[in-house]
């Protein structure tokens, strides 16, 4: 599938993705997927550009795969949010007018939110000095953003080192800190649709939820309102800290969050070995009815997949339908697909996000 931005072809590209998901899930007797489309443009909330020198000036640039020395110069970026497109020329004018900002600047990253917040990260091949900090403070004020400067081994933060997002799920607005450098869902509008689908799919429960790979609590916050209590795991320290802040800021008090990998939690539940990070948590006191997983592109490893088999219900969000299908193949003798969905997080590419609810046969 071509990665060409062409809004007129959006419907046919989405149809092709739906057909691909149908084919992958057909061996498991999946129902027809619910389909959640994307805005046709200005849907991507984050963007990263290398800078390319031409005629004495630095320009935003991207490179085709395998083409390190042939830059594609960019003035605007229609798949990125309106806020990113508004900031791009203003930031470029600022570094062109300031040696302190432009000297050995090689990369710029934007993070914006549906709530209107924005953060700009500027990466340098030199130490950041006082002149840079003075110029960056003025830049942050002029643009109304947080600015982060990065050089080897150093990070300077002007403002905050996170952006604030707000997402509406079933009439309740949840607030999220999205830290600089940590994973966030790139397509905010589709992310909101994913949260709403998962919220509906899990239903109102009187038992407990185990969540693996919880990140900054993107799904944790709304799903926690549907169950008695949640045990959530995440390995990234940055994401764990953000998730704890998000739980506190939203008044969600029925979640215990543990910094363990999915593999380590599997060992703990199998009583293979104890973990100090689980001190004070009685795993046997939980009555888990559902496990929620949102794994990386590689999907669940075989042991984690076997762990999920224990649960009556498996709610699975996937960024790779091939590894999703491989995991379902491992589980199909005990679980069937009750619901499935396609979320078009990445228009005009072959990538897709999908979701399934598996229930015990």
Catalytic positions are: 319, 353
Mapping DSSP to helix (H, G, I), strand (E, B) and coil, where does residue 306 land?
helix
What b/e sequence results for 119-138 when a residue is b if at least 16 CB atoms lie within 10 Å of its CB, and e otherwise?
bbbbbbeeebeeebeebbeb
In angstroms, the CA 132 to CA 56 distance is 20
DSSP string, 170-226: TTEEEEEEEETTS---SBHHHHHHHHHHHHHHH-S-SSEEEEES-TTTTTHHHHHTT
SS (H, E, C) 122-183: EEECCCCCHHHHHHHHHHHHHHCCEEEEEECCEEEEECCCEEEEEEEECCEEEEEEEECCCC
Structure tokens, 8: 């007129």
Q: How many CB atoms lie within 10 A of CB 324?
A: 24
DSSP string, 5-49: --GGGHHHHHHHHHHHHHHHHGGGTPPPPEEE---SSS-BSEEEE
**Contact indicator for 195, 350 with CB cutoff of 8 Å:** no
153: left (phi over 0), alpha (psi -120 to 50) or beta: left
In angstroms, the CA 259 to CA 123 distance is 29
Task: Please name every residue paired with 107 in a beta bridge, in sequence order, or none if there are none.
Answer: 50, 123
Structure tokens, 90: 């203003």
> Which letter does DSSP use for residue 277 in this model?
G
**Contact indicator for 120, 91 with CB cutoff of 8 Å:** yes
How many CA within 13 A on the CB side of residue 104? 11
CA distances from 224 to 124, 271, 325 (A): 41, 26, 27
């Amino acid at each position: 599938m071509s990665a060409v931005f062409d809004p007129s072809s959006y419907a046919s590209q989405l149809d092709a993705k739906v057909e691909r998901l149908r084919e992958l899930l057909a061996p498991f007797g999946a129902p027809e997927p619910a389909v959640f489309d994307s805005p046709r443009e200005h849907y991507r909330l984050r963007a990263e550009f290398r800078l390319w020198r031409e005629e004495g000036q630095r320009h935003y640039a991207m490179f085709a795969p395998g083409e390190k020395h042939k830059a594609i110069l960019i003035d605007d970026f229609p798949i990125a949010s309106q806020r990113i497109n508004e900031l791009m020329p203003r930031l470029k004018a600022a570094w062109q007018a300031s040696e302190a900002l432009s000297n050995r600047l090689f990369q710029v990253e934007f993070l914006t939110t549906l709530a209107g917040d924005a953060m700009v990260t500027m990466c340098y091949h030199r130490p950041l000095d006082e002149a840079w900090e003075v110029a960056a403070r003025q830049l942050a004020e002029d643009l109304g953003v947080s600015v982060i400067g990065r050089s080897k081994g150093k990070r300077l933060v002007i403002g905050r080192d996170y952006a604030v997002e707000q997402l509406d799920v079933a009439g309740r607005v949840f607030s999220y800190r999205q830290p600089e450098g940590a994973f966030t869902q790139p397509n905010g509008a589709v992310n909101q649709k994913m949260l709403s689908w998962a919220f509906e799919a899990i239903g109102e429960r009187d038992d407990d939820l185990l969540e693996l790979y919880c990140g900054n609590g993107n799904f944790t916050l709304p799903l926690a309102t549907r169950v008695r209590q949640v045990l959530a795991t995440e390995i990234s320290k940055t994401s764990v800290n953000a998730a704890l802040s998000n739980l506190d800021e939203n008044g969600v008090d029925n979640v215990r969050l543990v910094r363990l990998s999915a593999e380590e939690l599997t060992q703990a539940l199998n009583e293979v070995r104890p973990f100090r990070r689980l001190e004070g948590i009685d795993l046997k006191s939980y009555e888990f009815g559902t496990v929620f997983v949102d794994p990386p592109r590689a999907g669940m490893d075989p042991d984690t997949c076997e762990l999920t088999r224990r649960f009556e219900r498996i709610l699975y969000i996937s960024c790779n339908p091939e590894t999703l299908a491989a995991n379902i193949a491992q589980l199909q003798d005990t679980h069937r697909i009750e619901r499935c969905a396609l979320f078009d997080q990445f228009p005009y590419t072959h990538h897709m996000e999908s979701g399934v609810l598996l229930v015990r046969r």
